[in-house]
Amino acid sequence: MKISSDRPAPAWRRVLVPVLGSGLVHWLALLALCAAYLQGGLDKALDFDAAVAEMRRFNLDPAAPIAAATIALEIGASLLILAGYLRWLAALALAGFTLMASFLANPFWSAMPPERLAMANAFFEHLGLVGGLLLVAWQDVQHRAGSAELGH
């Protein structure tokens, strides 16, 4: 028995593919993924003293330049991802930053209850962000695989 390829697509596909496959939904998903970095970078920029204090709390020295670099990375890489320029590189930079920050800020393996559970949850939530950012980098590289340049 031969299955006809003329058969209309199921209703769910006729609805979901145009919606989920749209450029707007893709951009909104990227915005959602970058939201924590945009918010964090803006908060740090608007209260630089608090950003420096946060760096000191994690024993990062020199605190002020590290705070400034963190702000630049969080905001700059997010904007590159949203603009689609060097998206793969910006996503990898945020993924690496997030992974390092997670090990620094959420060492649940050495915490005592009840802090252990909260730290473990935060660690694995951040690991999920790392995974999402790696998917963004992968998708961008796949999309650009036909071109010789990964720059734009």
- 106: CB partners within 8 A, 6+ apart: 119, 120, 122, 123, 126
Over the stretch 49-70, which tens digit does the pLDDT of each residue have?
999 999 999 999 999 999 999 9
Q: In degrees to the nearest 10, what's the CA dihedral of 59, 43, 71, 74?
A: 110
- Show the tokens assigned to 115: 């802090």
Yes or no: say if 130 and 98 are a contact pair by the CB < 8 Å rule. Answer: yes
Predicted local confidence at residue 151, as pLDDT: 54
Indicate the burial class of 17 (C-beta count within 10 angstroms; 0-12, 13-18, 19 or more): exposed
Predicted local confidence at residue 122, as pLDDT: 96
- 133: CB partners within 8 A, 6+ apart: 33, 91, 92, 94, 95, 98
Predicted local confidence at residue 81, as pLDDT: 98
The average pLDDT across 99-126 equals 96
**Is pLDDT above 60 for 148?**
no
pTM for the model stands at 0.84
Yes or no: say if 108 and 116 are a contact pair by the CB < 8 Å rule. Answer: yes
Q: Give Cα 16 to chain centroid, integer Å.
A: 24
**How far is Cα 67 from Cα 52, in angstroms, rounded to an integer?**
6
The average pLDDT across 110-134 equals 96
**Is pLDDT above 80 for 13?**
no
Q: How far apart are the first and last CA of the chain?
A: 48
Neighbour tally for 89: CB within 10 Å: 17
Domain ranges of the chain: 24-143
Yes or no: say if 52 and 105 are a contact pair by the CB < 8 Å rule. Answer: no
Predicted local confidence at residue 152, as pLDDT: 53
Split at pLDDT 50, 70, 90, the class of 147 is: low
Split at pLDDT 50, 70, 90, the class of 41 is: very high
